[in-house]
Amino acid sequence: MSSAEVVPLAGVRIAVVGGGVFGCTAALDLDLAGAIVDLYEAAPTILDRASRRNLMRLHRGYHYPRSVNTARLARDVAPGFERFYPTATSYDHDHYYAIAAEGSRTSVDDFVQFCDDLGLPYEPATPDFLRHEALDATFLVDEAYIDYERLKGVIERRLARSNVAVKTGVRATPLVMDTYDYVVLAGYAATNSFLSSASLPVPRRRLDICEVCVVRCPPLVGRSVVVLDGPFVSLVPLPRTDLSLLYHVDKSVHRRYDDLAAVEKDRLARLLGGTIRAEPESTNFEAMRRGAEEFVIGAQHIEYLASAFELRSVLADSFDTDARPTEVTWVGPNVLMLFSGKISTCVAGATCVREMLIQDLRAPSTMAPLHSQRIATH
Ligand SMILES: Cc1cc2nc3c(=O)[nH]c(=O)nc-3n(C[C@H](O)[C@H](O)[C@H](O)COP(=O)(O)OP(=O)(O)OC[C@H]3O[C@@H](n4cnc5c(N)ncnc54)[C@H](O)[C@@H]3O)c2cc1C
């Protein structure tokens, strides 16, 4: 942002609710734009929920052949993420997308056509760690991973140098709506809890308690694979280690809900947050490992180390569409909701938040509640 652009939000008091990668990025951006920003994080540290407990792909689009908008957005915003967080991505691996021979909703022809249409580079490949008899094709692709430790480090350093007041261990309540000019809600799965206690409209979401296993799988060192497009496995690298993350589209999901209140009542919710456990009270590791055996040679020897659990929050109808949009929506007169799709969109999301706030300051009456901006590129 140039110094000329700093003026529009000067002196504007903003509460950002949620210290994940979306809230932190928005807080940094708004601070640069001159706003007085308080960043609320309910957990003892920032970046310890979904921003840590995920598969850390810096999506470029390959994963979403059934949602071209999601794929195009991922492709277009990834460079902006890398410019904003230049040290936070890792390319230290060969990354493959494989199409299952049976049960895939995307065929090889569909995938190739989709990559060609979006200009996503790929190379047919036959890496020695995959059971090619169970696959119709495998492609080496150009996709990076996010290095969580480096991302956290750079965000913490930038926050420390900024004027953002970081309030960890503080759960923001609807009272913030009265004490700030604006509130930016970036609470991911917990956002609906804030909205319902503020008597604001609550969007429909699908919520899944997901388990990601930290494993040692020697054939996968320096390599990663995603099997498309159905109830299949992914094994992805944990940057700068010899470890991988194991995920299975079906087996990783412990329970599925359509309402946050139902999650909060369920004893399984105790799995969420806290430390990444070596001995969780429940794990689907064995089922995931068997899922890996279908496609990965030597998967019977995958060594289990720990599990991370997170509540995934996606659009209620995303089963069919596979869409993972990032949206910025006016949900109250001074409340913007930043609903996060893929992590790579956090910089574009922060820009959208800033622009919508500036626009509202200039012409408040034009912004009706529930006006929404789905972030898109052309
Ligand atoms: C299993 C799994 C795998 C995934 N894999 C990928 C992937 O490979 N690549 C990708 O791009 N995306 C992936 N995602 C999605 C990605 O993790 C999320 O979109 C992203 O991390 C959300 O970031 P966030 O900042 O919105 O949420 P979070 O990181 O969850 O941050 C929200 C924060 O808000 C805080 N909070 C909530 N309410 C309040 C309140 N009232 N007051 C104060 N604090 C509050 C929470 O404590 C939390 O820390 C995956 C998600 C899951 C669950």
Distance between Cα 19 and ligand 1 center (Å): 9
Q: How far is CA 229 from the centre of its chain?
A: 19
Domain residues for the domain of 225 are: 89-146+205-315
Same domain flag for 245 and 212: yes
Query: 0.85 exceeded by the pTM?
Result: yes
Residues 309 and 328 in one domain: no
Tell me how far the alpha carbon of residue 127 lies from the centroid of ligand 1, in angstroms. Answer: 33
pLDDT at 177 over 90: yes
Which positions ≥6 away from 26 have C-beta within 8 Å? 16, 184, 186, 338, 346, 349, 350, 353, 354
279-291 pLDDT tens trace:
888 999 999 999 9
Which CATH number covers residue 306? 3.30.9.10
Distance CA 216, CA 262 (A): 35
199 occurs within a structural domain: yes
State whether the beta carbon of 249 lies less than 6 angstroms from ligand 1: no
Q: Identify the H or E element spanning 372.
A: strand 372-374
Q: 23: exposed, middle or buried (C-beta count within 10 Å: 0-12, 13-18, 19+)?
A: buried
Residue 186 tokens, joined: 């970036």
| 339 Cα to the center of ligand 1, angstroms | 10
- Find how far residue 67's CA is from the centre of its chain: 16
Looking at the structure, tell me whether residues 109 and 211 fall in a common domain.
yes
Give pLDDT tens digits for 70-120.
999 999 999 999 999 999 999 999 999 999 999 999 999 999 999 999 999
Cβ of 43 below 6 Å from ligand 1: yes
370 alpha carbon – ligand 1 mean position (Å) = 22
Position with higher pLDDT, 196 vs 366: 196
Q: Are residue 227 and residue 362 in the same domain, yes or no?
A: no
Q: Based on the domain organization, do 217 and 304 belong to the same domain?
A: yes
269, burial (CB in 10 Å: exposed 0-12, middle 13-18, buried 19+): middle
The total of other beta-carbon atoms located within 10 Å of residue 215's CB is 23
Residue 79 lies in a domain: no
151 Cβ inside 6 Å of ligand 1: no
Angle of helix 108-118 relative to helix 68-84, nearest 10 degrees, comes to 50
Predicted confidence at residue 3, as pLDDT, reads 47
**Cis link prior to 229 (omega < 30° from 0)?**
yes
- Specify whether 342 is located in the same domain as 210: no
Q: CA 31 → CA 52, 150, 377, distances in Å?
A: 24, 21, 25
Q: How far apart are CA 153 and CA 175, in angstroms?
A: 31
Domain identity same for 122 and 178: no
The answer to the question of residue 110 being in a domain is: yes
Q: Are residues 7 and 134 in the same domain?
A: no
The contacts of residue 355 (CB under 8 Å, 6+ apart) are: none
Q: Is the pLDDT of residue 292 over 60?
A: yes
- For 17-69, write each residue's pLDDT tens digit: 999 999 999 999 999 999 999 999 999 999 999 999 999 999 999 999 999 99
Which atom in ligand 1 lies closest to the alpha carbon of residue 46? 49
Q: Is residue 333 located within the same domain as residue 271?
A: no
The whole-chain average pLDDT of the chain stands at 93
Which CATH number do you get for residue 186? 3.40.50.720
- Say if residue 261 is in the same domain as residue 137: yes
Residue 2 has pLDDT above 60, yes or no: no
Does residue 6 carry a pLDDT above 70?
A: no
**pLDDT for res 7:** 73
Q: 378 pLDDT band (50/70/90 cuts)?
A: very low
- Strands 94-100 and 223-228 come out as parallel
Same domain as 271, residue 164 = no
CB 48 within 8 A of CB 152: no
* Number of domains observed in the structure of the chain: 2
What mean pLDDT do residues 327-336 have?
Answer: 93
CB of 146 closer than 6 angstroms to any ligand 1 atom: no
Residues 266 and 343 in one domain: no
Beta partners for residue 79, in sequence order: none
Q: What is the pLDDT of residue 18?
A: 98
